[in-house]
Amino acid sequence: MVIIFQNIDEFKKLFQEHYNGLVNFVYSRYVNDMDEARDIIQATFMKIWKGRDKIDVTSSPKSYLYQVAKNCSLDHIRKYKSKMSVVLEDDLERLDRVEEEVSKDADSFYLRTKIVEALSVLKPKTREIFELNKFEGLTYEEIANHMDISKRTVESNIARALVLLKKELSQTLKF
């Protein structure tokens, strides 16, 4: 067993000698992020220090450090991938919901635009009656009283508007 990991002064010396090389090793081979590489090497040295009583180094301390750094890097990558897969699944679900909402909004906007365009072919009086009923929510009787016309005139104008709108929209929207 190598005593180098038991003595705090020797351990600090080993840390200072190999820290930069290990960070560069992990950075260039595994994570491609300097902060993550530093964190991994910090964790590597913490792991070695905490388990120093159980460590039996048969090769050089430097080789051992690089092997532990490699294993810690791979563990980090596995954890990152599993976290990312959960995050990605959540993000994909959110993205699906947003796309669905956007699609509904786009379809709704498109439909409203086409209805407004179709309304432009109606005569002004018929259009006003239709809008009062469908957009303002007035009843036939309320429209008749408001415009000083008969309820029957309101009914026939609404019917005429619906026929024309259906014709206009069926050509545009391919019903």
Least confident among 19-28, 66-75, 85-94: 85-94
Contact (Cβ atoms closer than 8 angstroms) between residue 22 and residue 65: yes
Q: Which burial class, exposed, middle or buried, applies to 89 when counting CB atoms under 10 A from its CB (0-12, 13-18, 19+)?
A: exposed
Please compute, for residue 88, the number of CA atoms within 13 A of its CA located in the half-sphere on the CB side: 6
Among the three residues 90, 108, 142, which one is the final residue of a domain in this structure?
90
pLDDT for 115 equals: 78
Q: How many domains does the chain divide into?
A: 2
- Locus of tokens 């259906």: 166
Asked whether residue 7 falls in the same domain as residue 77, the answer is: yes
Among the three residues 90, 112, 139, which one is the final residue of a domain in this structure?
90
Asked whether residue 85 falls in the same domain as residue 131, the answer is: no
Structural domain includes residue 26: yes
pLDDT for 1 equals: 40
Rounded CA-CA distance 117/166 in Å is 12
Residue 162, SS3 per DSSP: helix
154, 155, 159, 164 alpha-carbon torsion, rounded to 10°: 0
* Average pLDDT along the chain: 81
Structural domain includes residue 38: yes
Phi and psi at residue 137, to the nearest 5°: 80, 15
Asked whether residue 71 falls in the same domain as residue 128, the answer is: no
pLDDT for 151 equals: 92
Asked whether residue 79 falls in the same domain as residue 136, the answer is: no
pLDDT for 2 equals: 46
Q: Provide the percentage of residues in the chain whose pLDDT is more than 70.
A: 79
- Locus of tokens 């009923």: 133
Rounded CA-CA distance 31/72 in Å is 11
Contact (Cβ atoms closer than 8 angstroms) between residue 81 and residue 48: no
pLDDT in tens, 126-164: 989 988 998 888 899 999 999 999 999 999 999 988 888
Structural domain includes residue 111: no
Asked whether residue 23 falls in the same domain as residue 62, the answer is: yes
Structural domain includes residue 15: yes
Decide if pLDDT at 174 tops 80: no
Asked whether residue 20 falls in the same domain as residue 86, the answer is: yes
Structural domain includes residue 11: yes
pLDDT tier at 92, thresholds 50, 70, 90? low
pLDDT tier at 60, thresholds 50, 70, 90? confident
Range of the domain at 151: 120-173
Q: Rg of the chain over CA atoms, in angstroms?
A: 37
Asked whether residue 7 falls in the same domain as residue 86, the answer is: yes
More confident residue, 105 or 121: 121
Phi and psi at residue 58, to the nearest 5°: -95, -20
Any idea what the CATH number is for the domain that residue 136 is in? Answer: 1.10.10.10
pLDDT in tens, 35-46: 989 999 999 998
Rounded CA-CA distance 47/68 in Å is 9
If phi > 0 it is left, if psi is from -120 to 50 it is alpha, else beta; for residue 32 that is left
Any idea what the CATH number is for the domain that residue 42 is in? Answer: 1.10.1740.10
